[in-house]
Amino acid sequence: MPAQDTNKSYHTSCTGAALQTADAHTSPSEITFFAACFCPFVQRVWVALEYLGIGYKVRDDFPYEVDPYKKPPALLEVSPKGLVPGLKLETFSPPRGLNESTVILEYLEDLAANTTKRSLLPAASDPYARALVRLQADHINRTLVPSFYRFLQAQETEAQLTAGKEFHSAIEGLVSHFSRAETENVESALGLWREGGEIGWTDVMAGPWLFRATNVLKHYRAFSLPEGPKFEAYLKRLFDHPAFKATCSDEQLYLDSYERYAYNRPNTSQVANAINSGRGLP
């Protein structure tokens, strides 16, 4: 971890490949996507939009949700807590809004079933495969995501060591879920874990945090992801997938934007406050 907090702030505009993707989605659309360039919950939805081929207009020109005095009214109309991601659905009159990344993913999955015919989930005709995927996603939301923030926000050396082991164990737990699907020959529940597979629900759910482990956690906590050719090949397939790669900014954006988490500044975000207080994520 760097010797001291340099008071870097979060970025308000994406960079690199993500900027090119955002620039390609500025025309009016039936869906307006409210986003923050560094937010992993946002990236979940963004990857899904790209892969499912659903048209959208990206809007990332507003402050991050932690500043209660600068939440734009347009965001609050679709996300009452002022949290991103949010969708404004222009197909309704008046327009309607959706928030919460997993709810939005479910909506986009249903929307694509009736439009683009693409899917992140196994076919509805295979309910067991879909159940395995939902177990994988449950592990990600309950264990992997909270442990990421506990690790990044921990300040004392002993707390960092404990939290680092917890996050490492959460990743191993995800691998165990993949191994179960392999053992039971449920290939449609493997996503990109399977060589030759296509990006799936679990990849989208976990990918943003695994990606930030390679830059943010590496930089601030000297964290190394589990080794092994199978896991490393999985990460390469995930990070190189066109839909995922198109939503990634340059590394410096993440290092700057997460410095406030790494030093656990007061009121960093609603997520950070929840972790510090031992509450569930907002």
Helix (H, G, I), strand (E, B) or coil at 244: helix
Tell me the domain boundaries of the chain.
16-114, 127-277
Region for residue 90 given its phi and psi (left: phi exceeds 0; alpha: psi -120 to 50; beta: otherwise):
alpha
Question: Both ends of the chain: CA-CA distance in Å?
Answer: 27
Q: Judge whether 16-114 and 127-277 match in fold.
A: no
| Listed residue (231, 214, 209, 256) closest to 47, CA to CA | 209
Tally DSSP H helices, then E strands, for the chain: 14, 4
Residue pair 50/58 in contact by the 8 Å Cβ criterion = no
The pLDDT assigned to 59 comes to 75
Phi, psi angle pair for 2, to nearest 5°: -55, 155
How far apart, in whole angstroms, are the C-alpha atoms of residue 15 and residue 10? 13
- Architecture per CATH, 16-114: 3-Layer(aba) Sandwich (3.40)
Looking at CATH, the fold of the domain delimited by 127-277 is given as Glutathione S-transferase Yfyf (Class Pi); Chain A, domain 2 (1.20.1050)
Structure token pair of residue 109: 């999955």
Q: What average pLDDT values come out for the chain (282 residues) when binned by 10 residues?
A: 85 93 93 93 97 90 47 87 93 96 98 97 98 98 98 98 98 98 98 98 98 98 96 98 98 97 93 94 91
Cα–Cα distance, 248 to 239 (Å, whole number): 9
Give the CA distances from residue 102 to residues 15, 63, 206, 233, 280, in Å, rounded to whole numbers and listed in that order. 25, 22, 12, 26, 15
